[in-house]
Amino acid sequence: MDPTTLGREINLLEHYPKANRPIDERGEVITDEVRDVARRYGEEFFDGDRLYGYGGYRYDGRWVPIAARMREFYELGDDAKILDIGCAKGFLLHDFSELMPHAEVTGLEISQYAIDQAMPSVRDRIRLGNANDLPFEDNSFDLVLSINTVHNLPTAECAHALREIERVGRGKSFVSVDAWRDDAGRERLMKWMLTAETFMSCEDWVEFFAAAGYRGDYYWFFA
């Protein structure tokens, strides 16, 4: 495995607001039952109590600078085809559409609840499905994104999802996953995470990407 064949480690989410997370408090109350509820990706996860997920997932414009950063970084044409895997209610898709009115934006989401609650501007552009089996032709998209999604799959399926990203893309992709750089970071993540089934150190993720055949860009979610 040669990590130099990978893309870049780059934080394209740097403009996402930093949250003050009550790590220790949450670690004391999260149980397997709580995680089971969160992994249903229903109303409880998106709009229920904060214990089960977002605690209310509403549009507030925070993805606008991220869409602009990605357009600039990947030098996307005005008519680019963009896929967001795990797009939830379509906030990033909406902001890409506002920024690039001639772009073709597509979302994939495992939650029917999220699709039903998606922004009207992009709801009909979101398909129900799983990241490990993308319902798209080879080389369909100029940019493929998966933000905090593929790590929610078991390890073998996560690897397959990464290969699917390679298959449907045209060479430009970005994923972010739960990770840690040191023991303290690992401890924080284990207290905080709800839905991830594949999680490892940054170094191990790089090896995992290479073994899976993923060649795109990547960054980390740190608790």
pLDDT for residue 1: 39
pLDDT for residue 5: 83
pLDDT for residue 19: 78
In a domain, 55, yes or no: no
Cα–Cα dist 111/17, whole Å: 24
Reported as a single tens digit per residue, the pLDDT across 140-180 is 999 999 999 999 999 999 999 999 999 999 999 999 999 99
In a domain, 101, yes or no: yes
In a domain, 130, yes or no: yes
Reported as a single tens digit per residue, the pLDDT across 168-221 is 999 999 999 999 999 999 999 999 999 999 999 999 999 999 999 999 999 999
In a domain, 29, yes or no: no
pLDDT for residue 22: 87
Reported as a single tens digit per residue, the pLDDT across 20-48 is 888 999 899 999 999 999 999 999 999 99
- The CA-atom distances, in angstroms, between 110 and each of 32, 88, 90, 181 are 21, 8, 12, 29
pLDDT for residue 18: 85
Reported as a single tens digit per residue, the pLDDT across 63-96 is 999 999 999 999 999 999 999 999 999 999 999 9
In a domain, 56, yes or no: no
What lies within 8 Å, CB to CB, of 67 at 6+ separation is 92, 95, 96, 99
In a domain, 34, yes or no: no
How many CA atoms lie less than 13 Å away from 214 in the CB half-sphere?
A: 27
Evaluate if residue 4 carries a pLDDT over 70.
no
Q: Residue 152 sits in a domain of what CATH number?
A: 3.40.50.150
What lies within 8 Å, CB to CB, of 216 at 6+ separation is 6, 7, 144, 165, 166, 169, 172, 173, 174, 175
In a domain, 25, yes or no: no
Range(s) of the domain holding residue 133: 3-19+61-221
Evaluate if residue 3 carries a pLDDT over 70.
no
In a domain, 26, yes or no: no
Tabulate helix, strand, coil % of the chain (nearest 5): 40, 15, 45
Average confidence score pLDDT of the chain: 96
- The one-letter code for the residue type at 54 is Y
Domain count along the chain:
1
